[in-house]
Amino acid sequence: MEALTLATFVAAGGASLFMAWAIGAGSSGSTPFAPAVGANAISVMRAGFFVGILGLLGATLQGANVTEAVGRELVVGTTLSPGAAIVALSIAAGLVAVGIFTGYPIATAFTVTGAVVGAGLAMGGSPAWTKYTEILSVWTLTPFVGGGIAYGTAKFLRREGVPERVAIPALAGVVGALLANVEFVLLGPPDGVGSLSTTLGGGLPGQAAVTLAFAVAVTGALAADMRNDEAAGQRHFLLALGALVAFSAGGSQVGLALGPLLPLFDTTSVEIPLIALLFGGGVGLLLGSWTAAPRMIKAIAQDYSSLGPRRSIAALIPSFAIAQTAILLGVPISFNEIIVSAVVGAGAAAGTGGVSRGKMGYTVLAWVGSLLVASVLSFGLYTAATAVL
């Protein structure tokens, strides 16, 4: 490999690793277990430890769709150059890092999407309007769908006529049905993905049978656990939900760090298996979760809403479902947006729920601002760099 090419790869890889660290420290590292921490089901430090490991697994097994979308589908008619990839990743990671150290959850998907689009347009590419419509639809619907489902679930769990020993296992069955249809790299063909229901069930009737079997099995297991100790069973379900969301965060967020690197491999003779790249990105997420996530976990868990176990469960169920939907569609999505809107919805079911409206207002401004600022900075910096060089 020529010296210039090697230096370019080192610089781009360093920017990608920094981005993965920032994501692990921020959105994917802090948000999945935040409701569980807020409900005192797990400590902040343990949450940071486990979310790192789970994020690594999710990145490796589910990260391909979003990585492809970020790397190749955000701009039409051009391929990001190594310089453009470095600019986009550096600006996005810098903005996310600012959010980490100021305590405000900058939406990672917004910053990376904006930075990649800005750099791509500066190179002469055209907007990918169809993909933008899909992304904007998911981003716009997420607060309403996630918050609405969380609100309804929390209200359901608060009904006096519905015993928790019945309601919570029933909700666990819904999660089991979703889990049976989650797609993984290892379950599909060599160049695709597959779910447990498709692998074990074959056709549609078989898939439905596998889905039902998983739902019944999970419901029965949690019902038995709650009969032995209701509080412990509730806590176990909450931690399992946090684990599923952390896994999903890795599958979604790693693409934000790795996507801009993919075009580099299209223009050189360097070949690295995608699963190896995903694992490397997952390691970056893990390092971020272990070194800097506790600060943001505390911010989400304590500053946005004072949640008990029931409302935390209500927040995590739609978070898992929305995250997996976005992974399936190949849409980059912010886990801060998912979790915060679900936390607010669950908290609102009990009145104010401890939600800080001022904090939420600043957060929304940070989300929108990060998209615009990342786009402008990336476009301007790449344009200036090419003019000078």
Q: Where are the domains of the chain?
A: 3-161+246-388
Task: Find out whether 157 and 226 touch, Cβ atoms under 8 Å.
Answer: no
Q: Is 112 exposed, middle or buried (0-12, 13-18, 19+ CB in 10 A)?
A: buried
Is pLDDT larger for residue 4 or for residue 44? 44
Secondary structure class of 103 (helix, strand, coil): coil
What proportion of the chain, given as a percentage, has pLDDT over 90?
30
Q: Is 302 exposed, middle or buried (0-12, 13-18, 19+ CB in 10 A)?
A: middle
Q: pLDDT digits over 124-176, tens only?
A: 999 999 999 999 999 989 989 999 999 999 888 888 777 888 899 999 999 99
Contacts of 116 (CB under 8 A, 6+ apart): 70, 74, 75, 80, 88, 92, 259, 260, 378
Cα 108–chain centre separation: 9
Minimal CA–CA distance to 183: which of 243, 248, 259? 248
Cα separation, 53 vs 29, in Å, equals: 10
Instruction: State mean pLDDT over 36-55.
Output: 81
- Which residue's entry shows tokens 């739609």? 318
Tokens at residue 1, please? Answer: 């490999």
Contacts of 194 (CB under 8 A, 6+ apart): 183, 184, 187, 188
Instruction: State mean pLDDT over 103-115.
Output: 81
Cα separation, 308 vs 235, in Å, equals: 10
* 105 secondary structure, DSSP code: -
- Say if residue 352's pLDDT is above 70: no
